[in-house]
Structure 1
Amino acid sequence: MNMPIYLDYGATTPLDPAVAAAMAPWGVDGFGNPHSAHLWGYKARAAVERAREQVAAMINAPTEAIAFTSGATESNNWALKGLLTAPGQTRRRIVTLATEHSSVLETAQYLASIGAQLSIVPVRGSGLVDLSDLERALGEDVALVSVMAVNNEIGVVQDLAAISQLAHGVGAVFHVDAAQGFGKVALDVEACGVDLLSLTAHKIYGPKGVGALYRRPYTVITPLLHGGGQEDGRSGTLATALIAGLGAAAAIAGDRMLADRDHALALRDRLLAALTVPHRVNGDLHQRWPGNLNLSFPGLVVPLIQQLPGLAISAGSACAAVTGRASHVLTAIGLDEAQAKASLRIGFGRFTTPDEIDSAAAQINAVVARHLAEMA
């Protein structure tokens, strides 16, 4: 059986062989608990601390501000729930965008169900937030502003520094979901004024099941997981191999950031040039991560995914695919449900080749042209 061309880098990325090599010593032989007070534990702990340094360096953070988690969903939950339930927290409102990941929106909605207030700010048709709309939503009762760095479905990059200024102007904490931005775009928590930042490994050629939360010193959040008190409040035995993989993936991404971006940009432009059928790019074409291309086809409302068996792509996030719902991101920027379900999210990256892009364009052209001809 021939495998389809993998163009779903937004859902997850292949494991980089160099990352796998960095993880290998911490499986069968390096099995020590990194919290144990003996040589096996010391060696594992050293690997964990090296990874902490590698992650911190990517966002210009102190190493002690990085806490390892199981991934961005846990980090987002910890950031929102931890801040709203922190001792002495008197503010009760969360402000976020309509296009945020479900792990932020659903966590915020849960908190609203138990007494918090929630303000969801719309975005423009470009997918970018109008800062004046955001400013109008803010007030002295806002505890947290949560905005994604790079959108997981349409790839747009929000102006974090400007949003931070608005949040801090009313005394709110600023949280960034950087699951899709970490290792792909420059992120500096000091320059951008970020107080909490969530990240994951498997979007940057690292393993699944590991991520981290950056917490600015003196930003108080309550633990999400209670127990042994590891990770300054995130309890649980650390997965040394996975953490080593996250660290290695971060270091490699730092070295390759410009090269990876240039490669993605060349592939993106090649695909757009090869499309001969009418199409629309969803989300701002310029203020975005170039490894994401979200397309809809004017007049076509037929779901296309099942008709492109040679391509591993999606119509939205992998999370939304499980439910069968139309993408809330695409409906938030003005598409109706049928248009959203007929759209394609195409993701490419480090291991995608020009030949694969050419093949993908040919397959999309053939399927869309056939449907348009049938409708004529």
Structure 2
Amino acid sequence: MEKVYLDNAATTQVRSSVIHKMQEALTQFYGNPSSTHSFGRSAKTVVESARKTIAKYMNAHPSEIIFTSGGTEADNMILRSAVRDLGVTTIITSKIEHHAVLHTAQDLERQEGINLRFVDLDEWGNPKLSHLRKLLQEDDTKKLVSLMHVNNEIGNKIAIAEICGLCKEHGAFFHSDTVQSIGHYPWDVQEIQVDFLTAAAHKFHGPKGIGFAFLRKNSGLKPLISGGSQERGFRAGTESFHNIVGLQEAFVAAYDNLEEEQAYVTELKKYFLESIQREIPEVKFNGLSGDLESSTYTLVSVRLPIDSDKAILLLFHLDIKGIACSKGSACQSGSDMGSHVLSEILPEEELNKPSLRFSFSKYNTREELDYAIEVLKDFIAN
């Protein structure tokens, strides 16, 4: 049986160089980075080197990089701290954000009484900038806009520079969940002056359980987790040292090889789009995922011509055939609930058709795509 992993938007295979660096860290640098003896100082030096390296690639200051357990923690930290510390009483987001943002904002509405507003979306799932401007002008409350750069289900890329400009123009803070784009697109936080960003290592061939938040210097945010002076006092708790080492190695490898790997994966996506349209002409693409210019090169979300009864067996059939992909996002694929993203952008009759997300990496091949499409084609025909 073939084994084909096409669920890289959920998580990625860890690079061998990352595994090697993490093993080295676990065996040679096992001191607590907060300890003052030589073992601790050695570990602390490695942690701060990782921070400086990430900051350099993003044109940030090292103090603006805070290590977290991943994107979900970082999103929570930023939204909750913005309400508590920055006087934010209005959060503007969209209904197709990752639940790390959407559920946190809804919690803050219930618990803190903040004003939660949703920007209108066009038919493809992009935020309407005219409506965003209207929301920013609506009143004089302190606002935080939170919109993800690359949607994790349909792959749309928002006009982040324009949105950043709108927020600056109206004195609003801007946070972007960049979990699907850090490691896949270059970032210069001086060029695009977002206030807050979030990232997760496992989306770019690093370990799970580690990520970081970019918090612009002098933002005014205060610690959300208390108990120690780690992370410049911003996040208490002994650092996940080996994971930080893995994050650094994955981050550097992603950007040092970005041009080559981006070109390779882009060609894979182009090949997939051409092949699936040729073999399954009735296929449709969700959002702008079928557009190479307007969506990320890493994923495609397809809608298939299958009735709802047959669709129940689709993911099971693909799994039996050794093919890994997602129904919507991985965070929802184990749920009976439909995708909240697709529910916002598709008419009801289209929602009844099964949608699958295929996402690609440097480890995939054209032969794997051929196999996956052939299995899909046979399932639809029989």
Give your verdict on TM over 0.5.
Answer: yes
Q: Is the 8 A contact 1:315 1:340 kept in 2?
A: no
Name which of structure 1's ranges 8-17 and 355-364 shifts more when overlaid on structure 2. Answer: 355-364
SS of residue paired to 2:147:
strand
- Tell me if structure 2 keeps the 8 A contact 1:32–1:44: yes
CA distance in 1, matches of 2:251, 2:129: 31
How far is the alpha carbon of 1:365 from its aligned partner?
A: 1.4
Percent identity, please: 35
CA RMSD in angstroms, aligned pairs only: 1.6
Q: Please name the residue that 2:49 is paired with.
A: 50
Are 1:315 and 1:344, in contact at CA under 8 Å, matched by a contact in 2? yes
User: What is the aligned partner in structure 2 of residue 308 from structure 1?
Assistant: 318
Cα separation, partners in 2 of 1:363 and 1:299, compared to 1, 3 Å? closer
User: What secondary structure is seen at the aligned counterpart in 2 of 1:91?
Assistant: coil
Distance (whole Å) between structure 1 residues aligned to residue 91 and residue 298 of structure 2: 30
Partner amino acid for 1:324? D
Once the two structures are superposed, what CA deviation does each residue of 1:180-206 show, in whole Å capped at 9, x if it has no partner?
A: 100101222221111111111000000
Instruction: Give 1:127-138 correspondences, 5 Å limit.
Output: 127-138=125-136
Q: Which moved more, 1:12-21 or 1:360-369?
A: 360-369
Is 1:279 matched up with 2:283? yes
Tell me how far 1:295 sits from its aligned partner. Answer: 0.2
* Shift, 1:341, TM fit: 6.6
Q: Confirm or deny: 8 A CA contact 2:305 2:380 kept in the other structure.
A: no
Distance 1:165 1:280 in 2: 34
The superposition leaves residues 288-344 of structure 1 with CA deviations (integer Å, 9 ceiling, x where unpaired) of: 111101000246442421222221011111111233211111112224387367101
- Give CA deviations for 1:127-154 in whole Å, capped at 9, x if unaligned: 2212112112213314210111111111
Q: How many correspondences in the alignment?
A: 367
What secondary structure is seen at the aligned counterpart in 2 of 1:148? coil
SS of the counterpart of 2:213?
strand
TM-score (normalised: structure 2):
0.92
Contact 2:14 / 2:207 at 8 angstroms: preserved in 1?
yes
* Cα distance in structure 2, aligned partners of 1:336 and 1:327: 12
In the TM superposition, 1:85-164 aligns within 5 A as: 85-86=84-85, 89-114=86-111, 115-139=113-137, 140-164=140-164
Counterpart CA distance in 2 for 1:337 and 1:320 is 21
Matched residue SS, 2:300: strand
In structure 2, what is the Cα distance between the partners aligned to 1:187 and 1:337? 39
By how many angstroms is 1:34 displaced? 0.9
Question: Does structure 2 retain, via aligned residues, the 8 Å contact 1:308–1:367?
Answer: no
Please report how far the alpha carbon of residue 221 of structure 1 lies from its aligned counterpart in structure 2 after TM superposition.
1.5
Q: Aligned with 1:206: secondary structure?
A: coil
Match of 2:303 in 1: 296
Please tell me the residue identity of whatever aligns with 1:108.
A
Residue 293 of structure 1 aligns to a residue whose secondary structure is strand
Verify: 1:268 aligned to 2:264, yes or no: no
**Residue 324 of structure 1 corresponds to which residue in structure 2?**
336
2: CA distance between counterparts of 1:169 and 1:188? 20
Q: In structure 1, how many angstroms separate the alpha carbons of the residues matched to 2:62 and 2:375?
A: 47
**In structure 2, C-alpha distance between the alignment counterparts of 1:196 and 1:367, rounded to whole Å:** 44
User: In 2, Cα distance between the equivalents of 1:334 and 1:52?
Assistant: 42
Counterpart code for 1:117:
N
Structure 2 unpaired stretches of 5+:
none
State how far apart, in whole Å, the 1-side matches of 2:84 and 2:347 are. Answer: 36
CA separation in 2, counterparts of 1:124 and 1:299?
Answer: 26
Tell me how far 1:81 sits from its aligned partner. Answer: 0.3
**Preserved CA contact (<8 Å) 1:296 1:340:** no
**Alpha carbons of structure 1 residues 229 and 323: separation in structure 2 relative to 1, 3 Å:** farther
Correspondence for 1:342 among 325, 350, 354:
354
Residue 7 of structure 1: how far off its partner (Å): 0.5
Given that 2:332 and 2:339 are in contact with CA atoms closer than 8 Å, whether structure 1 keeps it comes out as: yes
Q: CA deviation at 1:26?
A: 1.5
The 1:75–1:254 alpha-carbon spacing in structure 2 relative to 1, beyond 3 Å, is: same
Deviations along 1:218-277, whole A, 9 cap, x unmatched?
Answer: 101132211103113111100111001111111001111122221111111212222211
2 CA distance for matches of 1:90 and 1:368? 54
CA separation in 1, counterparts of 2:57 and 2:380? 41
Q: 2:252 corresponds to which residue? A: 251
Describe the shift of the 1:295–1:118 C-alpha distance in structure 2 as closer, same or farther (beyond 3 A). Answer: same
> Deviations 1:64-119 (Å, cap 9, x if unpaired)?
11010000000000000011100xx4330000112110000000000000211101
Counterpart contact for 1:47–1:244, Cα < 8 Å: yes
Alignment gaps of 5+ in structure 1: 371-376
Q: Report the counterpart of residue 218 of structure 1 in structure 2.
A: 218
Whole-Å separation in 2 of the counterparts to 1:42 and 1:164: 39
Residue 5 of structure 2 aligns with which residue? 6
SS in 2 for 1:197: strand
Paired AA for residue 359 in structure 1: Y
1:353 matched to 2:365? The reply is yes
Q: State the alpha-carbon separation in 2 of the partners of residues 340 and 122 from structure 1.
A: 23
Whole-angstrom distance in 2 between the partners of 1:21 and 1:320: 32
User: Which amino acid in structure 2 is aligned with residue 111 of structure 1?
Assistant: L
